[in-house]
Amino acid sequence: MAAPDQASASQINRAYYSQVLDGMDDYWRKMAAPRFRVRTLLSLLSDSQTLGSPTRLIDLGCGNAQLLSEIAARFPNFELCGVDLAEPQLAINRTRMPGCQFVCLDLSQPDVIPAELHGRFDLVTASEVIEHLDDPAQLLRTARTLCRPKGRLLVSTQSGTVHQTERRVGHLRHFSADEMTQLLRDTGFSVVRLWNCGFPFHDLSKWYANRDPDRSLSEFAGQRYGLKQDLLCLLLRAAFQLNSRTRGAQLFAVAERPAD
């Protein structure tokens, strides 16, 4: 087994996200940042309905399938698929969402996508996953393989400093808007829209969490939320309504696979 300082991104991510921590579901359902990302992605998917009523969507790095479950509720006509490398979490997902296909794959590896999935999807989502990979371009090449011509890719990730709490959950790097634009173009996508947002409260919440990374990860991922955590989440969700839509550490991108 590789020594800790030699562990690959895949090993780090699999080890952390296979734990199925008690507070992880609460984090995705209640914390301001993931709730904001889900709302934004759902809004973008609503916009995509004007592009020809897409029905097939795959979520790369689906985690506990919170995004997929909300997509299923909003768009019951969608045929959904989720991909992740943490099989213990996928086993739980299959129980919760029997109508959704879940596939265990390491998205950092080339040529892992089954042939029957090539070009199958109208929409590909990749929310908070590209920053975890040794080779970010490989994720985008995989997304292009999955996407039909004129299909769209929706990405959410981070800009700015990689803080200690983020390193501990597998972040390797963050991206400026220019870097993400170039990555998308280099991997065969045309950029439809790309923007930063989240200043000041998303950025401030990161700073606050990193004053004591051990405590933050224990209280907001390692255990079920109590009154303290619920109140903080409520306050942050309200504060996030005041965030800038043009600057901040949160980065979104909408890209299209050109027609062949």
Find the mean pLDDT for residues 140-144.
96
Distance CA 144, CA 157 (A): 18
**Mean pLDDT computed over every residue of the chain:** 90
| pLDDT reading at 260 higher than 50 | yes
* Domains of the chain in sequence order: 4-256 (3.40.50.150)
| 206 close to 245: Cβ distance less than 8 angstroms | no
Q: What's residue 2's pLDDT?
A: 36
Distance CA 61, CA 130 (A): 9
| pLDDT reading at 74 higher than 60 | yes
- Which pLDDT band, with edges at 50, 70 and 90, does 50 fall under? low
| 219 close to 166: Cβ distance less than 8 angstroms | no
What the block records as the tokens of 6 is 């030699």
In this prediction the pTM is 0.91
Q: What's residue 226's pLDDT?
A: 94
**Farthest CA pair distance, the chain:** 53
In tens, the pLDDT along 152-207 reads: 999 999 999 999 999 988 899 999 999 999 999 999 999 999 999 999 999 999 99
| 252 close to 197: Cβ distance less than 8 angstroms | yes
DSSP 253: E
Q: What's residue 110's pLDDT?
A: 86
Q: Which of 11-15, 43-47, 66-70 has the lowest mean pLDDT?
A: 11-15
| Strands across the sheet containing 101-104 | 101-104, 79-84, 56-60, 121-127, 147-158, 250-256, 190-197
Q: What's residue 18's pLDDT?
A: 61
Find the mean pLDDT for residues 106-125.
92
| pLDDT reading at 249 higher than 90 | yes
Q: Which of 140-154, 155-169, 218-232, 241-255 has the lowest mean pLDDT?
A: 218-232
- Which pLDDT band, with edges at 50, 70 and 90, does 7 fall under? low
